[in-house]
Amino acid sequence: METILTINNLDKRYGAVHAVKNASFEIKKGNVYGILGPNGSGKSTTLGIILNVVNKTSGNYSWFGGRLDTHSALKKVGAIIERPNFYPYMTAHQNLKLVCDIKGIPYSKIDEKLDVVGLLERKDSKFRTYSLGMKQRLAIASALLNDPEILILDEPTNGLDPQGIRQIRDIIKHIASTGTTILLASHLLDEVEKVCSHVVVMRRGEVLYTGTVSGMTANEGFYELKAADMQSLKSAVQSHPAITATEENEDKLLAYLNAPLSGSELNRYLFEKGICAEHLILRRYSLEEQFIQLTSNTATTNQ
């Protein structure tokens, strides 16, 4: 699969603030990537660096396998990283004509892209009469004018009402279905879960996970355990090779798995160590639980 963007050990400091720490990940053609992380985790800074509007401190990135320099590569990129900004007293169509003039794009693209974002009927309305959702959709149309290979969006649904959010998400999914690669930054877990095939989880500038969204949830899960002697339960569980970490949760011990382990196997293992489990339940994480677990540091790792 063709690589669109490779990021290697990217680092950014704003004075004392270490905004991006040694981040590495790859964007492959045809996938929908979400950079997911709480506010302040370095998502916008990362996007700013690869779009050449923020200077990196160290590390590197390359577009399209390094075949193009950043300037030529960015001609094949559509990006919206700021609030949509158009001329308020001009119509949507007039605004996009200006964009075509600046970028050397034929006007025939305008209606095609307005149709993609559902604004064709409103193309002769002045920008100032648009709702926030329509403004955002116009920005997407504008970013699509040059038929980019990748569309980059920073918090595409921020500030929108539920209907506006749904429209934007449907449009992104539709654009992805036509083969355009997408990279979006969002602090919203459900957005990434609903829209993206792949996820890069960031926290305080660090990349914690990269992989498929389904890979993040399709894990082995964890056991909830309880026994009369919690201390010996814990040490027995920690020495089992399929268990990577344990965590105490109220009166239960949570044991996280890195390999399949059936309840009867675990029960037998504990019994052989002289422990009778009173409670033994296998659970799997939702993406939300995975995310919370990744972005907090409560679990104690054995390795």
φ, ψ (nearest 5 deg) of residue 121: -65, -25
Q: How far out from the chain centre does Cα 153 lie?
A: 11
Beta carbon nearer to ligand ADP, 83 or 268: 83
By CB under 6 A, residue 59 contacts ligand ADP = no
Q: Least distance (Å) from Mg ion to the CB of residue 188?
A: 12
Binding mask 27-66 for Mg ion (x = CB under 5 A): ----------------xx----------------------
Q: 297 CB contacts (<8 Å, ≥6 apart)?
A: none
Beta carbon nearer to Mg ion, 12 or 43: 43
According to CB under 6 A, which one of 2, 14, 66, 70 is a site residue for ligand ADP? 14
According to CB under 6 A, which one of 4, 19, 114, 140 is a site residue for ligand ADP? 19
Neighbour-count burial of 13, counting CB atoms closer than 10 A to its CB (0-12 exposed, 13-18 middle, 19+ buried): middle
By CB under 6 A, residue 181 contacts ligand ADP = no
Binds 45: which of ligand ADP, Mg ion, none (CB < 5-8 Å by kind): ligand ADP
Listed ranges 11-19, 59-67, 136-144, 192-200: which one lies at the site for ligand ADP (CB under 6 A): 11-19
Binding mask 233-252 for ligand ADP (x = CB under 6 A): --------------------
Beta carbon nearer to ligand ADP, 39 or 301: 39
DSSP bridge pairs for 18: 13
Output the 3-class SS for the chain. Answer: CCEEEEEEEEEEEECCEEEEEEEEEEEECCCEEEEECCCCCCHHHHHHHHCCCCCCCEEEEEEHHHCCCHHHHHHHEEEECCCCCCCCCCEHHHHHHHHHHHHCCCCHHHHHHHHHCCCHHHCCCEHHHCCHHHHHHHHHHHHHCCCCCEEEEECCCCCCCHHHHHHHHHHHHHHHHCCCEEEEEECCHHHHHHHCCEEEEEECCEEEEEEEHHHHHCCCCEEEEEECCHHHHHHHHHCCCCEEEEEEECCEEEEEECCCCCHHHHHHHHHHCCCCEEEEEEECCCHHHHHHHHHCCCCEECC
By CB under 6 A, residue 34 contacts ligand ADP = no
DSSP bridge pairs for 11: 58
By CB under 6 A, residue 37 contacts ligand ADP = yes
The token pair that represents 137 in the structure block: 């959709």
Listed ranges 37-45, 83-91, 192-200, 280-288: which one lies at the site for ligand ADP (CB under 6 A): 37-45
Binds 137: which of Mg ion, ligand ADP, none (CB < 5-8 Å by kind): none
Beta carbon nearer to ligand ADP, 96 or 207: 207
Beta carbon nearer to ligand ADP, 34 or 37: 37
By CB under 6 A, residue 186 contacts ligand ADP = no
By CB under 6 A, residue 31 contacts ligand ADP = no
Beta carbon nearer to ligand ADP, 15 or 106: 15
Beta carbon nearer to ligand ADP, 92 or 151: 151
**Positions that interact with Mg ion (CB under 5 A):** 43-44
**Positions that interact with ligand ADP (CB under 6 A):** 14, 17, 19, 37, 39-45
